[in-house]
Chain A
Amino acid sequence: MNQGGMLKPALIAGVLLGILSALPLIQWVNSCCCAWVIGGGIFAAYLYVRESAEAVTLGRGLALGLLTGVIGGIVSVLMSLPLLYISFANTKVLEELSKSVEHVPDLSPQVRETLQHLLSDPLRSLSFFATIGGAMVTVMSAIFAMAGGAIGVALFEKRKPGQISAETPPATTSGPPPELPPPPPLQ
């Protein structure tokens, strides 16, 4: 498995999908069944198929998509942190959230108290919601990007399984090749 070859396309596509998923307004495309995330998986597969000397299989596309989705999820969360911080630094927002927690009818008293304790401090709220939300976003990104990876391989891989591209240059070795016959004896 050319795992080193998988990292670069996953990084490029993952960072791109993370940025697109975090930008305001543009991120709403993800509301159409994670279109940016699936697109990120497809793009990663395109880059990987283009550079891989060996035919890429659907399973490898799935693994590539998983890596792309995880990277994209992490980038998306990191890019959303400044906006989240601004929201949670606003005490009015926290007060409104705390009031709405009081009115949820089926919450146990312990859960209600825990939530209100979290919402009493901006940094604590930000850490909690960023961690939970970030984990959720990363898992969903990974799942949908896996689908994108499989779709991308199906679309772009034209070589048959096991086939090696003819354009791959042979590995260079030092010394004489072993197939050369021994020199004739001197007469």
Chain B
Amino acid sequence: MKNVWITLRTSAILFVLCCVLYQLAITGIAKVAMPHQAAGSLVYNSNHDVIGSELIGQSFTDPHYFQGRVSSIEYNANGSGSPNYAPSNPDLSKRIEESVAAWQKQNPDVPVSSLPVDLVTNSGSGLDPDITPQAAAAQIPRISQLTGLKADQLQSLVQENTTSAQLGIFGEPAVNVLKLNLAVQQLRAQS
């Protein structure tokens, strides 16, 4: 019984330290020192409305836009996850065949052999904001044809929105699809 009483009293004060002070103090520091990150790296338009987060992918079904990865949750950022297909699951092969067929329909000029694997696989979170630089390059002919923008203009936009691995060795080069599409939209508005 003595242990129960000590547990409750010790826990109460450790709770104040670990839950109340720790979390509230750091929330305060973050709000003052790093407001952008603390709020979720949000992206605003010229009217100061939130149009998304740099870190969270969006659904781009319109072929005029660069498209992101397969997402079984359709980029609903109120949840997250993947269908958890095992490598041997026949549903995985079926879904990939469907993605390949859809690709061929939208991009008749680009052969399947230059279709990068990230475009036909589901990300772990279902919210992957990025595609590989190869996946962006493979979509340039389609977007150029549909929007009338020149391929080398698009190529330089892709390059501007590509980040290399952090410090050169941590992670992989990636193209942020939302930022890239914002740049495409801007260019289309200008021309």
- Say whether A and B bind each other: no
Q: Which residues of A contact B (CB under 8 A)?
A: none
